[in-house]
A and B are shown apart, each in its own frame.
Chain A
């Protein structure tokens, strides 16, 4: 069974939804505390949404120094899949595991609604179940989700195919309407929308399942390959 570690920080608030969504796709999901130093044999690590450490200083800036982050770094360096959702994305950017930075939304408003997204790259473990340029509807809820990279960095990321997900409608002023990016090795992915809140059509959309189920598949395949 694929083991999913959901890292909780003081101020995480999407931790239970993330845990339940992972369980829904057949994973053995469990919590890891920010002070832990061991991921307890995880196949996937997810940094959930919320307001870690009250978003003090900058979103994700303090979480980056949590003891568990050393283990996450080592796991990522070893090729392990790491997903950062919303605040988790902010943490991964602050930690330098993902490029760019998330700034205050252009219109200074907290955006909380379903948004349409376009999958730009399907060659990642996170988007392998999506069709090329497929549109997904997944909710966002953030005040500081405007992704920024300068022109040079943006060009590099585009050329390297790291701009995985874009908003298909105006959302928060992100450069290039980028909603999600991956690292060069494609095993670390962060996005502002919340796939764990879109896992049941009864509650609006089931599109988040495409991302989360693909991730569980990919982790299972990786485990088999290593074994």
Chain B
């Protein structure tokens, strides 16, 4: 079976996120004073062939640990689509 996996990689909370800060300043300059705590990360989608949903998630987790996210500075969230 093929599962569509969505990965969201974000800078670890507490770490300085200069991109997020720059976007926040830009939003504020545009008049969106209500926007705050902006953080910028990265979204990755992929198909994973696996025997089960759990297996797809486990494999995707391994991919994140080994490549998609940097364990020193980034956290990730995984979501496996229902087929």
CB within 8 Å of B: which residues of A?
Answer: 57-58, 61, 65, 94, 100-101, 103-108, 148-150, 173
- Residues of B within 8 Å of A104, CB to CB, are 18-19
- Residues of B within 8 Å of A103, CB to CB, are 73
A101 with B73: CB separation less than 8 A = yes
- Residues of B within 8 Å of A107, CB to CB, are 18
Number of B residues contacting the other chain (C-beta, 8 Å)? 10
Q: How far is the CA of A159 from the CA of B72 in the complex (A)?
A: 20
- Residues of B within 8 Å of A149, CB to CB, are 72
- Residues of B within 8 Å of A65, CB to CB, are 67
Q: How far is the CA of A150 from the CA of B68 in the complex (A)?
A: 20
B70 with A58: CB separation less than 8 A = yes
- Residues of B within 8 Å of A58, CB to CB, are 70
Q: How far is the CA of A65 from the CA of B63 in the complex (A)?
A: 13
Q: How far is the CA of A105 from the CA of B72 in the complex (A)?
A: 16
Q: How far is the CA of A61 from the CA of B67 in the complex (A)?
A: 7
Closest to B14 in A: A150
Interface centre among A65, A103, A106, A149 (most CB of B within 10 A): A103
- Residues of A within 8 Å of B70, CB to CB, are 58, 61, 94, 101
A106 with B16: CB separation less than 8 A = yes
What are 23 A-B contacts defined by CB distance under 8 Å?
A57-B67, A57-B68, A58-B70, A61-B67, A61-B70, A65-B67, A94-B70, A100-B72, A101-B70, A101-B72, A104-B19, A105-B18, A106-B18, A107-B18, A108-B18, A108-B19, A108-B22, A148-B15, A148-B72, A148-B73, A149-B72, A150-B72, A173-B18
